[in-house]
Structure 1
Amino acid sequence: MKIIITLFLLISGILFSQNQRFVYEYSFKMDTLNKDKAEKEIMNLDITKEGSYFYSALLITRDSLLNAEVEKGKASNSVNIDFRKIKHPKVNFRVSKTYPGLETIYHTSLNASNVAVKEPDKINWTILPETKSIEVFKAQKATTYFGGRNWIAWFTHEIQIQDGPYKFCGLPGLILQIEDEEGTHIFNLAGSMKLKDGFSLIDAKTAEILLTKEKFNKLWNEYLQDPAKNIKLMHSSSGMSETILFDSNTGNPLTKQELIRNKETRAKEFLKRFNNFIEKDLYK
């Protein structure tokens, strides 16, 4: 995956700019049956004086394409969106932090619901004397144990922002690189750009259910036991009892039992392979 972006141009501008986007390449190995295969996603860390927002860059592209299709449909009085033409993110989580306290919230979806999980603990770092150069910056090493993994980070004092990718923050400078000791989740800073004045953090205005980590883990395990639960509940309602759904590949109608069985089979096959989450403790 390649991105074309102005890389580390103005250190002083980065230091004092209130609205800044740092772009990271995220390499991850979620498929435990194919550990040599690494997926990649470009992630944005948008920073304002109020806080930061970390998310897949494809969310911006996807939303722009969807809005364009909707506007096109309005002009022709017919909205027909072909979702196959729209590239969807591989990463479905987002992380928001508020300044100056660095309150951190994990946003994702679980069993068809949008959920938000507040991180209750601060990350405890061990800062080491070891340094190295990353692009034009002098970086210093730090380590931590977080989410069931040991992590190695490289941060720079030259960018006085105590933030970084995902939930990682609290070091005396921006995190340029961080990876777990197994090398299955790796974040590398790839570039930066100044955001326009008046820029505000992306905030999906979708209603979310606020959960503790313990409650999220309980619901996650309930989902593993019954991944089609939401479909069963939906079809038990009077409003859906007479609804006819069709197979997207064959065009043939599906019975409720076939729909549930297909959902269960797809979910179990997916989860059997893609289960190497960043936070082992959250998805245990």
Structure 2
Amino acid sequence: MKQAKFNLERRKDKGGNLITTNVPIRLSMFITGSRLEYYTGFRVSNSKNFNTDYSKTGKPFIKSNEPDAGRLNRNLKGMKEKAELFYDNAIALGQIPTCETIRKQLDEYFKGKDSKPDQVLVKDAFTEFLEETKRRKSIRTWKKYNTTLNHLSNVFGIEFRKLTFDQINTAFVEWFRKGMIKGGYKEGSEKKEYLNNTVVKYLRSFREFLNWCKDEKRAYYTGNAKFEELRENEINVIYLTGEEIEKLIKAEMPNERLEQVKDVFLFGYYTGLRYSDIFKLRKQDVLDQEIRFYISKGKNTTWHLV
């Protein structure tokens, strides 16, 4: 059977040094005397995290210290199996496989180029949604939606690239929910699960995206996927006592950066301002020992005096 292999792109920077960070992963395969070099769409943060001898040792393509190594290995394994299957199918049908035909089949399967002309890919619609959000809403809201897109890509992997709206139903939503819980996130070298409130937040964001897609101007999505009751758990509010605040004021920080962090925290404590509001403050907002400025939250903008 014809073997597909993976290798890292070898490219040098302007100084003539081999680039070792954020390196593209390529699929390589010899087909009827020619070599197919196919860009997988995936990268490793550092070339040291790629197992160059994976075919000999049987170890995963990507080492465990690479962020999201599990998802990368699953996607690369799927791509390798498909490339080899496309080759074997051509031989079984009495056809002569070529680099061009295998490349086209890979594109159609993994990049969604086989979708009908009138079908909009979910990833393309989401990109449009993000662009509109960036123009009309706060950067914080845009980041929330962008993170939702990243979660969709992580949970569904390569399949997300060719996902169309007719595939989105209640089962899809439930799979997305379970995928986020199972996938979790990394804190250092430790993997942690998302709390219910975090999962609910991104499910709401996805529902908002689908509602945007239902708008009569677009009508990308005409389905009716059901979301189970998206209820957040009550949380215990953690606060500092007056005595603890006094201790913090007197505490000496080990460096200037932490001293600034302490100052911002105390400023927020005494003024009642959120960090996002403090970040936007300008010198001209402070006049005669008072802070006068506008606060935007959602669609509402209000004037405040502190």
Give TM class, smaller chain: under 0.3
**Structure with bigger gyration radius:** 2
Q: Which has the higher strand share?
A: 1
What TM-score do you get using the length of structure 1 for normalisation? Answer: 0.28
Q: Which has the higher helix share?
A: 2
What TM-score do you get using the length of structure 2 for normalisation? Answer: 0.26
Structure number with the bigger relative contact order (C-alpha 8 A, sep ≥ 6) is 1
